[in-house]
Structure 1
Amino acid sequence: MQLIDTHCHIDFSSFEPVRAEVLARAASAHVSHIIVPGVNASGWSNLKSLVLREGELTPHLHMAFGLHPCFLNEHQTQDLEQLEALLASDPVCAVGEIGLDLFIPQADLDQQLLFLRPQLALANKYHLPVLLHVRKAHDLMLKQLRRFKIARGGVVHAFSGSEQQARQYIELGFKLGLGGAVTYERAQKLRRAVQALALEHFVLETDAPDMPLSGYQGLPNEPSRVLDVANIIAEVKGCTLEEVAATTTKQALQLFDLE
């Protein structure tokens, strides 16, 4: 059995003193690959160094680069030029983490779109999937995706929307990322969507060190807990852990061209 964490910030400084132990626990939990999304230009160099250094180990690390909507005050327009240079020259598996976030205080939609649209265009230009961060903005994001028609699709990270929204993303070629949210019994809308849709539409993630799972509140998240996510999905779907692992791993391997 193998599992893939399609969204883990293992490059964040909070992992620095414990990264080796965290990755060892992930390997013990059957995690074979980890997608590591970049969030701002200042962190891309460190992310690249980490992945190139650790990527031959198990779990294998794979880098993505993007300009996250929650870090607008750190982005500059020239960062888009740097992003394109990295996409053109480096073994990048996706563009991300990018998106729209209208949940944060004083959210500036115009500025978020100013960075989102060129990044969607770059994903198409370099034939890469995208890792989408979307909060309180699903309809707006769907509008942008219909406009740009992302050829390789991508993942709607930390999906917590309705079945109807899920089906709209699926029609556009996207997978839905399931992580900490689905482990909470109160997440009934999300669990109904998981029950209604085929496993092939989902991939697994942790968003470590963020988005703690039920039972781990107040603790840093880590990629080994993707196994807990898989177990909960098996319970919700009424299938085996092995089925969840096999199907979600197959989707991730194909989507990010990891085979």
Structure 2
Amino acid sequence: MLVDSHCHLDFPDFAGDLPGVIARAEAAGVAGMLTISTRVAKAETYRTIAHAHRQVWHTVGTHPHGAAEEPDVPAETIAALATDPRCVGIGEAGLDYHYADAAPAEVQEQVLCAHIEAARLSGLPLVIHARDADAHMERVLADEMSRKPFRAVLHCFSSGRRLAEVGVELGLFVSFSGIVTFRRSHELREIARAVPHDRILVETDAPFLAPEPHRGRTNEPAYTADTARSLAATLGLEPEAFARLTTENFFRLFSKARLASGPSSEGA
């Protein structure tokens, strides 16, 4: 059994065939999927998907690309939305300076810190997005963790070794996507080897970043199996052992998912 710890099942890429996407994932051994929020305003969309499919859980939060659209959502509001029985995490939130038109750094940090507080209030883990912002992210995480601890994962890790080391030191998990299968991702595979086995997760970030041998196609949760096989080889583990490891890690971090893993119910 594998769990896709990060995908976006609400995206238009899947609108016409979501049952098929989920069925293909199950056929590939991916028994659980966490669909990730990009806007708090869409909370009902994620809730609907998760309650309609027993294999799916969801989060609530604002992606850094939307920080300027939702700059002032209180932590209390996010935490309240997270009480839904199939909501198992906060985010994704973070810092992304890759694009020139990104929200100002101070706005992204403000939104990230609100989500950190929501993670504390709810007791749920935060899904962190970090891109081209290593030094700033390290500073925010260290400052906030020293103030009051919270649980979190650095998702779709593609940053430098230093941020991975800091994250592990602070107790965070590190999740790897299809990027780790790319031919030129030698450094990323070295970073993966250095992450303690009890902190590693696997994801697709679907519909983006399809792993080899599907590169160039629309990514989907079924392809978690391909990334998992590549990561298992990188770590020197048998695929079955790696699947057990990452699934156990997922349920340790997203512990509420165990409580919500039975048949979904809109009335729950």
Tell whether the structures are fold-level matches, with TM greater than 0.5. Answer: yes
Q: From the superposition, tell whether residues 49 and 186 of structure 1 become closer, same or farther in structure 2 (CA, over 3 Å).
A: same
Correspondence for 1:77? 72
Deviation at 1:215, TM superposition (A): 2.9
Partner of 2:262: none
Give SS of 1:217's match. Answer: coil
Which residue of 2 is the match for residue 145 of structure 1? 141
Which residue of 82, 101, 109 maps to 1:87? 82
What is the CA distance between 1:219 and its match in structure 2? 1.2
Q: Identity percentage over the alignment?
A: 28
For residues 219-238 of structure 1, what are the structure 2 equivalents within 5 Å? 219-238=217-236
Shift of 1:79: 6.6
Report the equivalent of 1:212.
210
Cα drift, residue 221 of structure 1 = 0.3
Superposed, 1:17-96 pairs within 5 Å as 17-54=16-53, 56=54, 60-78=55-73, 82-88=77-83, 90-96=85-91
User: Which has the higher mean CA deviation after the structures are superposed, 197-206 or 147-156?
Assistant: 147-156
Cα distance between partner residues in 1 of 2:74 and 2:149:
23
User: C-alpha displacement at 1:146, in angstroms?
Assistant: 1.7
User: Is this contact kept in 2: 1:70–1:104, CA < 8 A?
Assistant: no
Which one-letter code corresponds to 1:142 in the other structure? E
C-alpha contact 2:61 2:91 (8 A) present in aligned 1 = yes
Give the number of aligned pairs: 254
The one-character-per-residue Cα deviations of 1:2-56 (angstroms, maximum 9, x if unpaired) are 10100010122321111111100100111121111111133211111111111x2
* Aligned-partner Cα distance in 2 for 1:170–1:79: 28
After superposition, the C-alpha distances for 1:104-157 in whole angstroms (9 at most, x for unaligned) are 113310111121111111111111110001001122112212222264422101
d(CA) in 2 for partners of 1:77, 1:196: 37
1:80-229 mapped onto 2 (5 Å cutoff): 82-88=77-83, 90-107=85-102, 108-149=104-145, 151-229=149-227
* 8 Å contact from structure 1 (residues 199, 244) kept in 2: no
The amino acid across from 1:62 in the alignment is W
Sort the Cα spacing of 1:89 and 1:237 in 2 relative to 1 into closer, same or farther, 3 A: closer
Q: Which runs of 5+ in 2 are unaligned?
A: 259-268
Q: TM-score, normalised by structure 1?
A: 0.92
Alignment of 1:248 onto 2:243: no
Aligned partner of residue 123 in structure 1, secondary structure:
helix
> C-alpha displacement at 1:82, in angstroms?
3.8
Moved more, 206-215 or 84-93: 84-93
Partners of 2:205 and 2:225 in 1: CA distance: 13
* SS of alignment partner, residue 7 of structure 1: strand
One-letter code aligned to 1:85 = A
Structure 1, gaps ≥5 residues long: none
Secondary structure of residue in 2 paired with 1:169: helix
Shift of 1:101: 0.4
Counterparts of 1:210 and 1:89, CA distance in 2: 27
1:220–1:146 Cα change, 3 Å: same
